[in-house]
Amino acid sequence: MKIIDGRSLAKEIKSELKRETQKFIKQGGKTPHLAAVLVGDDGASQAYVRNKIKSCERVGFESTLIKKKSTIQEDELLEIVDGLNKNEDIDGFIVQLPLPDHIDESKVTLAIDPVKDVDGFHPMNLGRMVIGLPCYIPATPLGMITMMERYNIKTEGKNVVVLGRSNIVGTPISILLSQKTKWGNATVTLCHSRTKDLVSEVQRADIIIAAIGIPRFVTSDMVKEGAVVIDVGINRIDAPDTKKGYKLVGDVDFDEVAAKASYITPVPGGVGQMTVTSLLMNTLKAARGEIYPGG
């Protein structure tokens, strides 16, 4: 069993991004600039955005954080999005999800200029991804693809089972891995709450991607010997014996499954680290105009 170390891989790629950014600026390019809009006081969202801002500093990007109270009205948030769309200094930006219930997340996502949609959530980018055109690939799927490439994990001809069909993770990664690309050519099964005999589906997988949002859902009896296990889940569970009173676990029972897996991602320290790094990768592409030249 080999652990796919997201922390060390993210550090390595950030060093590469720093060198690429310095080279880009020396050649006359502008300093890449990523903005983030944070609404409310959700602890996980705050930590995630802080990590993004720090990561920008490490690779030589500029960053802007716009913080608003959870009582912000939808119209005001849309005005902020419009301002970022029009701000020529901003190469890419994200609106951190989830948003308060009184705000329509779809409306906000649709309001983001696809040229600056470095999260890859806009239908324009998702549509381009589906038909194989240049696009901003959603950050978490891009992180998983990068992990498998860097660890030389082959996907061609493999049976992949994806647990979870969200528009952010499950659906995009299932499409990407099935495409005729260097990271694809797999036979992909997308499982969800209506899947019949889900356990049997998982048991035949060469590669399991767990993004179902249930702590330790995947157990050792569901995993065949030598499978690759990519755990996207980040779940907080009670742990009275710890200083914080809780700990983070994935959608996979790591201690059980690790003994059978050929490769496995830990939680924390796995896919989550690569999600932020992928956002930086997309931002540099935006600054270079790689996806939408002249956009």
| Residue 45 CB burial class (10 angstroms; 0-12, 13-18, ≥19) | middle
CATH 3.40.50.300 fits 139-272, yes or no: no
What is the spatial distance between Cα 188 and Cα 170, in angstroms, rounded to a whole number? 11
pTM of the predicted structure, to 2 decimals? 0.94
Domains 28-113 and 139-272 share a fold: yes
pLDDT of residue 241: 86
What is the spatial distance between Cα 10 and Cα 269, in angstroms, rounded to a whole number? 10
What is the spatial distance between Cα 134 and Cα 132, in angstroms, rounded to a whole number? 7
CATH value of 28-113 in 3.40.50.1220, 3.40.50.150, 3.40.50.10860, 1.20.1260.10: 3.40.50.10860
Question: Which residue is catalytic, options 52, 91, 231, 253?
Answer: 52
Domain spans, the chain: 28-113, 139-272
52 among known catalytic residues? yes
- Give the DSSP letter of residue 92: E
Q: Quick one: CA torsion of 189, 215, 223, 210, rounded to 10 degrees?
A: 30
Does 295 appear as a known binding residue? no
- Counting as low any pLDDT under 70, the low residues of the chain are 295
pLDDT of residue 106: 95
Does 166 appear as a known binding residue? yes
Question: Which residue is catalytic, options 113, 119, 231, 251?
Answer: 119
Q: Cis (ω within 30 of 0) for the bond into 32?
A: no
pLDDT in tens, 60-88: 999 999 999 999 999 999 999 999 999 99
pLDDT in tens, 100-158: 999 999 999 999 999 999 999 999 999 999 999 999 999 999 999 999 999 999 999 99
pLDDT of residue 294: 77
